Amino acid sequence: MQFIPIAIRGPLFMILSTGSYVVNDTMMKLATVGLPPYEVL
């Protein structure tokens, strides 16, 4: 990670973490489409 400037590293990690949250949320919604709402938790 030394080749990425520190001014770019923070925003890059924020974008990657937001993207992984969106993918995870989408997969959870697709996987639990047939379950009752509180059974997922």
State pLDDT tens for residues 1-41: 678 898 999 999 999 999 999 999 999 999 888 888 787 76
Residue 1 is predicted with a pLDDT of 65
Evaluate whether 11 touches 4 at the Cβ level (below 8 Å). Answer: no
Stretch (H or E) spanning 13? helix 6-31
> CA-to-CA distance for 39 and 13, rounded, in angstroms?
32
pTM of the model: 0.70
Residue 38 is predicted with a pLDDT of 82
**Tokens 């890059």 label which residue?**
12
Residue 41 is predicted with a pLDDT of 67
> CA-to-CA distance for 37 and 5, rounded, in angstroms?
44
